[in-house]
Amino acid sequence: MKYIQVKKATTYDLSTVQRIGRETFIETFADSNTEEDMNKYLESSFSDSRLTDELNNPESLFYIAWEDDKPVGYLKLNTGIAQTELQDQKALEIERIYVKSSHLGKKVGQLLYEKALDVALQQHNSYLWLGVWEKNPRAIRFYEKNGFIAFDKHIFKMGDDEQVDIMMKKELQ
């Protein structure tokens, strides 16, 4: 594997975040969802206006994993009211860690997770939390390996399909 560098994304990286977000989401979930549900989700979650708002939100942070000049994964973190559920001031949410299928198993996800952990520690958060699709055993194993434990479930809307996410957290103190 070549050297991977994780860099903070800004609004200047909108098209890159949009492209890597769509590509990795399709690679990961297209086989398990209808084309209609995928298209609805991709249109709403990766539109120019939505991503611009999220990139400008001081309580959301994006990081892109780069292999030379090629984006191979990305991370989205939320604090405060940007969090999708708990909105606990002591918590940092990992909303997304997505890695291109060509780079799965090459430690890119681990580098992105370590960036999330660094941010949480710098912000003096008490814990990290996330939601992971119950039908994504690879991701569940990844988070368990990194010390996360399941504590609840919630519904994730994929287009018109309501799916169950396992909510997991890792205490930091």
Residues carrying an active site annotation: 143
Q: Are 16 and 46 in contact, with CB atoms under 8 Å apart?
A: no
Torsion of CA 21, 22, 24, 29, to 10 degrees: 130
In whole angstroms, give the CA distance from residue 148 to residue 70: 30
In whole angstroms, give the CA distance from residue 9 to residue 17: 8
What end-to-end distance do the CA atoms of the chain give, in Å?
34
In whole angstroms, give the CA distance from residue 95 to residue 168: 11
Q: Are 163 and 156 in contact, with CB atoms under 8 Å apart?
A: yes
